[in-house]
Structure 1
Amino acid sequence: MNYFEFYNIPESFLLDEKAIKNKYYQLSREYHPDFYANETPEKQQEILQLSTLNTNAYRTLSDADLRMQYVLKEHSLLEEGKNEIPSDFLMDMMEINEELMELEFDFDAAKLHEIGEKSSGIVAQLDNDILPVLQRYPELHGFTKEEALAEVKTYYLKKKYLLRIQETLSKFAGRS
């Protein structure tokens, strides 16, 4: 069962965190295995599966990145080896990666800070650009659901790429 269906909420990228937590606690009480100790083994197994589903749904839906990944996978948009990132973005990232490689050989704290600021600026711009799509999904005016999901996929892949760069930056930060 789809996590959104299980929680009886519409599919969305932006959710009410408090409502998700409340639903998790409600279902945790409802499907707590201790309440079914005297039931048949089949019923106990069913409750255990529902309890596990509840935990997995909560972990996924309460985390914005995992939720985005989940929605994209539910729509078969994240496929191994078929996740293309726009070439202009890759060229920008190649420049940043080259600057990081230069830091490997000739560390410069000011250059590290500059690269960090540049990557943070790109992340902020990505977040700013995708927010209207996330806010209106799935009721979009002027967009189809497929177009919106394609935009979200591109955002997700770019952000994932940038997170790797930021991890590299944090390793360099330990040197300064």
Structure 2
Amino acid sequence: MTNYFELFELPIQLPVDVTLLTNYYQQLQRQYHPDNFAAVNDDEKVLIIQKSAMINDAYKILKNPITAAEYFLSLRGFNVSTEQNIIHDADFLMEQFSLREKLDDIENRNDFDLLDDFHTKIVERRKNVYDQLLQNIKEQDWNVALNHIYKIRYLNRVIEQIEKIQEKQFAL
């Protein structure tokens, strides 16, 4: 299996240097673009298309700070894709319950200014959890880092709900 950090000649660390990532991505895309291989046989074309698709997937994963962190932890042997992501932080779970109640209240009021403020607050909360995640990775506290990944997923779901409500606003 190809290591995405190595593919883009990046150090295996977080956060990912997006400028370097983008530069290497563009170089690889030029090198492996299927149009450059029109004269090769079908078997080689398939391999080039697969390589190009893998480059695109790797770029998409490493460009996003959250999926890059998930990938980083997967390199350390953690199965981050499992849905059995149980959070043992009662305060965080209560916070999630409270956030969802507040979101329901805001939606029922149709108060889009309050919704925008709430969105900003949740995005900032996610950033704080991400910063904690980076600190845990730096300290090689893998289980706590994994727990922060799960927390970010919870916050992402709240953000997605907010954005769906915002989309409804613009559809009116």
Do Structure 1 and Structure 2 share a fold, with TM-score over 0.5?
A: yes
Which residue identity is paired with 2:98? E
Q: In structure 1, the residue corresponding to 2:93 is in which secondary structure?
A: helix
Q: Which runs of 5+ in 2 are unaligned?
A: none
Partner deviation per Cα, 1:17-52 (whole Å, 9 max, x = no partner): 111111111111221223322223322222222112
TM-score (norm 1): 0.71
Structure-2 change in CA distance of 1:10 and 1:162 (3 Å): same
Distance 2:126 2:35 in 1: 46
Which residue identity is paired with 1:78? V
How many Å apart are 1:14 and its aligned residue?
1.0
Which residue identity is paired with 1:163? N
Runs of 4+, deviation exceeding 6 Å: none
Distance 1:168 1:37 in 2: 45
Q: Give the count of matched residue pairs.
A: 164
Distance 1:121 1:10 in 2: 27
Q: Does 1:160 align with 2:115?
A: no
Distance 2:34 2:126 in 1: 43
Name 2:101's counterpart in structure 1.
98
Distance 1:9 1:124 in 2: 23
* C-alpha contact (below 8 Å) 1:130/1:152 kept by paired residues: yes
My pick for the range that moved more, 23-32 or 94-103, is 94-103
Distance 2:162 2:38 in 1: 52
TM-score (norm 2): 0.73
How many Å apart are 1:89 and its aligned residue?
0.9
Q: Which runs of 5+ in 1 are unaligned?
A: 137-142
- The sequence identity of aligned pairs, in percent, is 25
How many Å apart are 1:121 and its aligned residue?
5.6
* C-alpha contact (below 8 Å) 1:77/1:153 kept by paired residues: no
Structure-2 change in CA distance of 1:21 and 1:2 (3 Å): same
Q: CA RMSD in A?
A: 3.2
* C-alpha contact (below 8 Å) 2:34/2:49 kept by paired residues: yes
Larger Rg: 1
Distance 2:148 2:67 in 1: 14
